[in-house]
Every structure is written in C-alpha cells, then in structure tokens.
Amino acid sequence: MKTVKLNNGIEMPILGYGVYQVTPEECERCVLDAISVGYRLIDTAQAYDNEEGVGNAISKCGVPREELFIVTKVWISNGGYEKAKASIEESLRKLQTDYIDLLLIHQPFNDYYGTYRAMEEAYKVGKVRAIGVSNFYPDRLIDIAEFTEIKPMVNQVETHVFNQQVEAKRIMDKYGTQVMSWGPFAEGRNDFFDNATLQTIGKQYGKTVAQVALRFLIQRGIVVIPKSNKKERMLENFKVFDFALSAQDMEEIAKLDKEESLFFSHSDPKMVEFLIGLGK
C-alpha cells in the first residue's frame, strides 16, 4: 500500500475505507470485508454512531493492531476541552484500542480551540498518533495552524473531480497539512458515474469511472476513503495501483473542476445553523 508521510513522520495509507452512512448493524461486517480485501486505513467518527462496529471488527479481524490505521473525529456536541477529553476516552473504549492513529475535529464549530487542546494533550501522552481537522476552509485552517502548538497534520475536506480543492491544497501544503478527501465519488452527484471524460479515460486502461477518479486524487497526493457496503466494490476501489494516468489525462480531468461544493457551504448561515443544531 502506498503511503503519505504526515508532518510528524507518521506513515498514513493513501487509500482507506470510510464508514460514513454505514449503519451500526452493518459496520462490523463491512469493516471486516474491507480489511480482508486489504484496506488498513479505516475512517469513522463519533457522529457516525458506528465506532463500536469498527472496534468489533478491529478485535476480530486477526490483523495486528499496529498494521491498522484508525481515524475518528470529535463531534460538535463534544466541543471544548473537558467534553472533548471525555469523548476521546469514549472513542477509545468503543474502538477497543489503546490509541487512535488519527483524530480530527469534525467541524469548525463550538469551542474547537478547546477541543484541539484536548487532542494535543492526548497526542503528547500517546493516546493519539496524529491530530488534525476536517471541513476547515483555508481561513479557518490558517487560524488554527497559527495559534496552536501542533499544526494540524491532516484536513479532511470534500474533494473530488468536481471540487478539486486546488487553492485549499496549496495553503494546506504551506502548513504541512495533508489533504484527505471525503466524498471522492461526489456521492454520485452531477452524474458522476456517467461522466464522459472519466468514461473515455477509463476505457484506455480498462478501468471504471470510480477507479479513474480515485487514481486522479491519489496521483495528486490526496488520501482517499471510498465507501461501499459491497465487497466487490471494495475490491474494485482497491485496484488503483496497477495503472497511472498520463499528464494529458490529468489535465483533462482537471478541467472538470467547478471549484465549489456539491453539498454545503460554511459561508451559508442557514447551513451553519443546521450543522450546529445537529451538535446540540
């Protein structure tokens, strides 16, 4: 498995399995399937309500814990030093592990500075191997990077062929923050799976639209965490290291960038109110 090196020297797989919207009932089975396929990075979150399923899979999979890379995120409702500190302990319990490989702030709301202090503390005592943020736009990333002791090692943001985060990545690179994509398939929006450019390029290599899209992000050095409940799709998404897109292919896909979210904007007050409401 290809890896990226975080700014503290930790090696992180560039391809992982995400469990967003995987039900608690199915999560254990899905994660066991993903690990059997070869995935070693598993991405979950407190808000997904399936950390326990991930933990059960970790304990049953037979793969040594040190070979796995487990990611979870502190939710808005656990914002602030004391609540975040307690929630980290709860995540460790649910995940049935002594440490979390990467811990992120899920959204830039509530007292996320207090949350980050709790994360820095957990990092220093070895309960967390790396810390970072999620859904932090460039302005918020710059702010937290400039006023914390440990710069975010990762920023997980919406990244796919229609929202390529070119400028945001430039700023993350400046601060040594690794880009991690959520929604690498844009959740099928904008006719993703029928996109003519991706289909044409895929035919050259005998690859699917999904595989081309993942390969595009991987060649840009972006960590991807595609999700599927079906083992055959997990296998398909995993087979992206046996071909490489040409410079021309990369240029053609770059033209698909609309430079805007297909999901939500933190600049929209109504969306901010909605997200904060979820955290209460």
Pick out the residues of the known binding site for substrate.
106
Distance of CA 266 to the CA centre of its chain: 18
Lookup: tokens for 10: 């930790």
Lookup: tokens for 192: 């993703």
Question: Is 175 noted as a catalytic residue in this protein?
Answer: no
Backbone angles phi, psi at 86, to 5 degrees: -65, -40
Gap between the Cα atoms of 40 and 68, Å rounded: 5
- Which segments are annotated as binding site? 106
Gap between the Cα atoms of 48 and 11, Å rounded: 25
Selecting among 17, 20, 39, 48, the annotated active-site residue is: 48
Closest-CA residue to 100 (of 137, 65, 135): 65
Closest-CA residue to 45 (of 99, 105, 117): 105
* Catalytically annotated residues: 48
